[in-house]
Amino acid sequence: MTGQRVGYRRVSTVDQNLGRQLDGVPVDKTFEDKVSGKNTDRAQLKACLGFVREGDTLVIHSMDRLARNLMDLQQIVSELTSKGVSVQFMKEGLTFTGNDDAFSTLQLQMMGAFAQFERALILERQKEGIAIAKAEGKYKGRKRSLSNAKAEELRLRVAMRTTSKADLAEEFGISRETLYAYVRSAEVKELKERCE
């Protein structure tokens, strides 16, 4: 029996478009995340890894969409191939099956290292840009994702626990990291008020 072709697509923020990834590539089912690839703590990635079975092929646009860190990339590919799932990267034109030769393994490591290096460069340039803007008095910090009223509504809905945090993040158009930041800021404010 031939397995399914399962697609995984990822962009870093909710306002980025997933459209170009796997465009025209036939897949039976697709999982999508709109969060950073800095680690593997991604809801749809976890769902995808739990869904694929022996004989399936996981299809990804490029290695950096699966992971931005070499250790995570190697671990995911190794776990999948050990249970009989092939991993195909369209942009790099590479497929891993678990029966890969030394050269294929080297390519995976090199491309994964480049993705990790690229992420480090992005963060470095971002810090340098912020430092220059601060020195010139132009840096005002990141624009708030939610108005004060929306932030208060979000905190109230989180406290009510009637909707999952992932669903709330999607509804409010923010990442889960941003949702947690809003919740933490309210907790810190409350703690300061109690101590005063």
Q: How far apart are CA 29 and CA 7, in angstroms?
A: 6
Asked about 12 being catalytic, the answer comes back as yes
**DSSP letter, residue 21:** T
One-letter identity of residue 20: R
Which is the catalytic residue, given 12, 36, 62, 145? 12
- Across 18-52, b (16+ Cβ under 10 Å) vs e yields beebbeeeebeebbbbbbbbbebebebbeebbeeb
Beta partners for residue 145, in sequence order: none
CB environment 161-172: b (16+ within 10 A), e (fewer): eeeebeebbbeb
The enclosing H or E element of 57 equals strand 57-60
Cα-Cα end-to-end distance for the chain: 67
What are the catalytic residues?
A: 12
